[in-house]
Structure 1
Amino acid sequence: MNAPMPSFVRGLVTRLRRRGLPLGVDDCAALRTALAAGHGLESTEALRDLCITLWAKSPRDAELIGAALHLADPPAWVVSPVARSAGVQADPPAPVAAPSEPGPAADPVPITPVPSAELAIVRPPRPADVTEPPRSGIPSPFLVLRPQYPVSEREVAQIWRRLRRPVRQGPPTELDLDATLDRYARTGVVTSPVLVPPRANTARLLLLVDRDGSMTPYHGLVDHVVSSIVRAGRLDAITVAYFRNTPGRSLDRSALAALPGTVTAELDPILDRIPALGTGRVYRDPAMLTPWPVADLLDAVTGGSAVVVISDAGALRGSFVMTRLFDTVALLLAVVARGAAVAWLNPVDADRWPDTTAGQIARHVPMYPLTRDGMYGAVDALRGHPVPVERPL
């Protein structure tokens, strides 16, 4: 007999799904099977550890499950000895003795046998005159409100794990079935199998993150996305660098003088005259305390690398700055010259990009909103899928 599902599990699953943990029927079935096998029956803490083992895919998932289970307020477990030892029937309760006084015999109290895998959940009664104990004033980690972002850590990890460059490297340890059968068909002799090195993901990712200024309202979301990619992206190398507005200032802006006399926001007439950015500095930390020369950063960018810029590019304030556009295009030219793929993630909605620096940058490189669908599009662009761009670099 399957162990019954505790009554509070449904509310627990609903709460976790609302917080981005995609639990389904299979996860509930796994919990039921584990309870039927005798796991998680010793105490409420054992049930919590069981749920974390079955459902958590990251440390944040484990924290989320522990907090949600604490908020579900599960009552104390009362487990019959039969449920603890599979296959052993419980001894029936002793019959109620008849009264020793003379008189009519009392009806025996009906006894309901406990099923072999029954799990009862009870809450100890509280006397009416007992009040709640005074609070200690120490905050509980389970009651601290956590920010809820449009994409969960698991969704970010699943999206960026699609960025792959599988290359076979290392000692030959995997069977090449086709080569083994082909050699047997050609020679007719059964020999040792053909082994090949395993595939490894050699994708390299550079994240250039705009910091402070108009990006200040998005610090929480950007940090959440960046940390999720770093922790669970499963890429060969992930580098994160921070900058303010632009990573550097072009030393030669003389090409701007060749633009037509009329006011224009496009760099198309001088696009082939913009020198690639080779100077400037970025920072290794979000506080921007540890400088990092742009030249050294770009030396690590090679063919096949993926470069993602996370910035609003003036879209939040609706501003257009020609020098900022010039310096940004110079940086993108330096990246493209090294054979890397580029994508841009903008935390501001796309309907606010026109007539801003972001709108002009989107004419040269693929730009997507910092959403779930936007990150899927950025990963597809980095993987080489054709993306229509008005004036590619």
Structure 2
Amino acid sequence: MNPNQLPLLTIFNSLRQRHGLPLGVDEYLVVLRSLQAGFGIGTREELEQLCCLLWAKSEEENRLIRRLFEQMWRYSPDTSAQPKPSSPSPESEESSAEIPESEPLPELEPQPNLTPEPVQAVQAVRSSRRDRELRRPRYSLLTEYFPVTRRQMKQCWRYLRRPVREGIPTELDVEATVAKMGREGILLEPVLIPPRKNRADLVLMIDQDGSMVPFHQLSRQLVETAQRGGRLRQTRVFYFHDYPDQYLYRHPAMLNAQPMSEVLEEIGERAVVLIVSDAGAARGNFDEERIASTKVWIEQVQQSVRYCAWLNPMPNQWWQNTTAGEIARLLPMFEMSRQGMNAAIGVLRGRYIAWERMYSWLL
């Protein structure tokens, strides 16, 4: 079996868009990585079992995936290397009987020599409209598939500055030198001052797992560009799920827990905090408990640091009448775009703008 010739992306799209399975990009990539590692490529049955194991959460979904594979085998260019399917088993007959014919499965056209790229899976996740839990904005796909590119991230971070003069005096202080000349009537030596250095300390608090799974790569690039290209004095990263429940974590797998109070004491009041989360917008729910718990958390942060902002990977029109819409009233929240990121950094610099004007529905 040649995994490079299997239209797995077609099955992935069908499961998400036509049948509403809550699959994200990570679920698609783990199948590709498993195939590359040699799992699921021995026989048809092994491949089906692999996809059912990783994608199905119920017996009904398991039967649906197997039925899609039955269609795929009819068109696969590798069929000559595989035995022909035998007569339908009782399981397959049961599967056909339980899936309503009113919702026919889409035809899977032959796609020879296709190796789906991760960017295609991300695009499929973003463009799906039926799956409300994982709805994503339609952003233009150029060299990168994010609403804000790596280069734009770096450019935005460089506006986050807190210049402080320190070190050996090497720069000419023109005004002080002129004043000194006026007092002494002669220039014996110029007045030098230390150069300006960026002493901005950034703290990223990033939501992980759940509805944030499709945005994990986006979050990783946000961290990477801040640490390597932001020209900041220090960037600290902490993780949470939905909202911190007394603890933040230093590792995205929710390892190395640290009490919230200890984190806030450690970072100091001169640091600025940027929170990254969909705030419940991806699922479209209204969770009063999450709003209340998030409010307590935000108040803790605001009492410890001067400036705090929120970046949301979901477009602002999806915040209305959801948990995110209420949280957006607690502190400046911006959608994850170049304009939104610039606005958030403006808040962190102390140049507070009328952020409500960006999203008039919040008024």
Shorter-chain TM band? 0.5 to 0.7
Shift of 1:382: 1.1
Shift of 1:201: 0.8
Mapped contact 2:274–2:310 kept (Cα < 8 A):
yes
Q: State the partner residue of 2:163.
A: 166
Shift of 1:172: 1.4
**Equivalent in 280, 284, 297 of residue 318 of structure 1:** 284
**Equivalent in 301, 307, 310 of residue 273 of structure 2:** 307
TM-score if structure 1 supplies the norm length? Answer: 0.53
Q: State the partner residue of 2:178.
A: 181
* Deviating more after overlay: 300-309 vs 373-382: 300-309
CA RMSD of aligned residues (A): 2.1
Q: State the partner residue of 2:239.
A: 242
Shift of 1:223: 1.2
Mapped contact 1:172–1:197 kept (Cα < 8 A):
yes
CA distance in 1, matches of 2:353, 2:291: 21
Q: State the partner residue of 1:223.
A: 220
Deviations 1:145-181 (A, max 9, x none): 6752333322111101101111111221211122112
Q: Which has the higher helix share?
A: 2
* Deviating more after overlay: 204-213 vs 333-342: 333-342
Q: State the partner residue of 1:362.
A: 328
Q: State the partner residue of 1:345.
A: 311
Deviations 1:240-265 (A, max 9, x none): 000011111xxxxxxxxxxxxxxxxx
CA distance in 2, matches of 1:156, 1:164: 15
**Equivalent in 145, 149, 154 of residue 145 of structure 2:** 149
CA distance in 2, matches of 1:144, 1:312: 27
Shift of 1:389: 6.4
Mapped contact 1:209–1:243 kept (Cα < 8 A):
yes
| Matched letter for residue 367 of structure 1 | M
- Name the SS of the counterpart of 1:190 in structure 2: coil
Mapped contact 1:157–1:229 kept (Cα < 8 A):
yes
Q: State the partner residue of 1:191.
A: 188
Q: State the partner residue of 1:37.
A: none
| Matched letter for residue 326 of structure 1 | A
| Matched letter for residue 382 of structure 1 | L
- Name the SS of the counterpart of 1:290 in structure 2: strand
Shift of 1:385: 2.0
Map 1:130-145 onto structure 2 (within 5 A).
Answer: none
| Matched letter for residue 286 of structure 1 | P
| Matched letter for residue 194 of structure 1 | V
Which runs of 5 or more residues in structure 2 are unaligned?
Answer: 1-114, 120-143, 357-363
Shift of 1:285: 1.2
Q: Is 1:376 matched with 2:342?
A: yes
Mapped contact 1:315–1:357 kept (Cα < 8 A):
yes
Shift of 1:297: 0.8
Q: State the partner residue of 2:5.
A: none
- Name the SS of the counterpart of 1:297 in structure 2: helix
- Name the SS of the counterpart of 1:359 in structure 2: helix
State the structure with bigger RCO (CA 8 A, min sep 6), 1 or 2.
2
Mapped contact 2:273–2:305 kept (Cα < 8 A):
no
CA distance in 2, matches of 1:157, 1:235: 11
| Matched letter for residue 230 of structure 1 | Q
Mapped contact 1:242–1:282 kept (Cα < 8 A):
yes
Map 1:17-56 onto structure 2 (within 5 A).
Answer: none
Deviations 1:64-89 (A, max 9, x none): xxxxxxxxxxxxxxxxxxxxxxxxxx
Mapped contact 1:366–1:387 kept (Cα < 8 A):
no
CA distance in 2, matches of 1:389, 1:234: 26
Max Rg structure: 1
Moved over 6 A (4+): none
Deviations 1:339-376 (A, max 9, x none): 42111000011101011111011112111011111101
Mapped contact 1:302–1:340 kept (Cα < 8 A):
no
CA distance in 2, matches of 1:218, 1:190: 60
- Name the SS of the counterpart of 2:203 in structure 1: strand
CA distance in 2, matches of 1:319, 1:144: 32
Distance change >3 Å, CA 337–CA 369, structure 1 → 2: same
CA distance in 2, matches of 1:247, 1:347: 19
| Matched letter for residue 337 of structure 1 | Q
* Identical aligned residues as a percent: 42
Which runs of 5 or more residues in structure 1 are unaligned?
Answer: 1-142, 249-279
- Name the SS of the counterpart of 1:323 in structure 2: helix
CA distance in 2, matches of 1:154, 1:326: 36
| Matched letter for residue 161 of structure 1 | R
* Deviating more after overlay: 335-344 vs 300-309: 300-309
| Matched letter for residue 318 of structure 2 | R
Distance change >3 Å, CA 178–CA 216, structure 1 → 2: same
CA distance in 2, matches of 1:288, 1:331: 18
Mapped contact 2:272–2:305 kept (Cα < 8 A):
no
Q: State the partner residue of 1:282.
A: 248
Mapped contact 2:170–2:195 kept (Cα < 8 A):
yes
Q: State the partner residue of 2:57.
A: none
Map 1:243-262 onto structure 2 (within 5 A).
Answer: 243-248=240-245
Map 1:65-144 onto structure 2 (within 5 A).
Answer: none
Mapped contact 1:149–1:221 kept (Cα < 8 A):
no
CA distance in 2, matches of 1:144, 1:321: 37
